[in-house]
Amino acid sequence: MRNPIPLALALGLGLFAAQPAAAAAVFVANHSFEADVLADGQYRVGFAPAGWSSGYAEPSGPQNPLASDFASIPDGQNVMFSATGYDGTPYYQGNVHQQVLDSLTANTRYTLLVDVGQSTYADFADFAVQMVGGAGLETVLASGSFLSDQIAPGQFRTLTLVFDTTSAVDGPFGIRLRTFHNPQQGQSQRLAFFDNVRLDASPLTTAAVPEPGSWALMILGFGASGALLRRRAALRGATT
Ligand SMILES: [Ca+2]
Ligand SMILES: [Ca+2]
């Protein structure tokens, strides 16, 4: 500890660098739909996957796709399919959800990541990945989607949804994965697939990290101090 100042600086920089590690994972039950691994090619309709709820579970369920359905599965063997189509009015639409928190913390960024896929064998359904709250998880706090031409058949893409709080919010708080019937797409059944649902919470403390402009000013400041010291030393050298 002969030279504590550089050590303190190094510790400070280390803290800045470690900031992303402050993100804490929020538990999502059966987040990858692997709770009950199905036989290859098998799928289940009529109930939501374990850990998830649905007001109308018939057109959603866990599925173990065939190798020909997707180039690869994001995580494990199962995914969840969600369907929309026509079997009489109203059109059916997949809609599963689960509560994950009792309340939201102030000044926190909640980041939800969901892998969304389009199979090789079915048209892609309009879908939404949502962060929801309120009674029955009916209030949409944040919602995200891809258009059908943004995911190639047989591929999954990761959708990232961010929700920031400034004050604490009473829950419940949850995740909803759903498909929508689009009248312009006709009556045939369409499918969207979901996998690997991840949610984390990280404090919004970015104010502790200097902006690039501040860094430049600080470095300029250090440089100016050094120049001043050198000038004084030179002056002293000149007068003695
Ligand atoms: Ca999975
Ligand atoms: Ca499989």
String of DSSP letters for 177-209 = EEEE--GGG-SS-EEEEEEEEEEEEEE--GGGS
> What Å distances lie between residue 36 and 16, 102, 236, CA to CA?
41, 27, 81
What fold characterizes domain 22-207? Answer: Jelly Rolls (2.60.120)
Instruction: Give, as one character, the DSSP assignment of residue 75.
Output: S
Ligand 2: centre distance to CA 168 (Å): 42
Tokens of 160: 């990232």
* Cα 28 to ligand 2 centre (Å): 23
Distance of CA 54 to the CA centre of its chain: 21
What pLDDT is stored for residue 25 in this prediction? 97
In the reported structure, the alpha carbon of residue 111 is separated from the centroid of ligand 1 by a whole-number distance in angstroms of: 19
Tell me, in angstroms, the distance from the centre of ligand 1 to residue 115's CA.
9
SS3 state of residue 210: coil
The one-digit pLDDT tens for each residue of the chain (240 residues) are 444 444 444 444 444 444 445 899 999 999 999 999 999 999 998 778 999 998 665 689 999 999 999 999 999 999 999 999 887 777 889 999 999 999 999 999 999 999 999 999 999 999 999 999 998 899 999 999 999 899 999 999 999 999 999 999 998 999 999 999 888 888 889 999 999 999 999 999 755 555 555 555 554 554 555 554 455 555 454 444
Ligand whose nearest atom lies closest to the CA of 64: 2
- The confidence score (pLDDT) of residue 165 equals 96
Predicted confidence at residue 238, as pLDDT, reads 47
pLDDT at 212: 58
Ligand nearest the Cα atom of residue 156: 1
pTM: 0.77
Q: How far is the CA of 193 from the centre of ligand 2 (A)?
A: 14
Q: What is the pLDDT of residue 68?
A: 98
User: Which ligand has the shortest distance to the CA of 114?
Assistant: 1
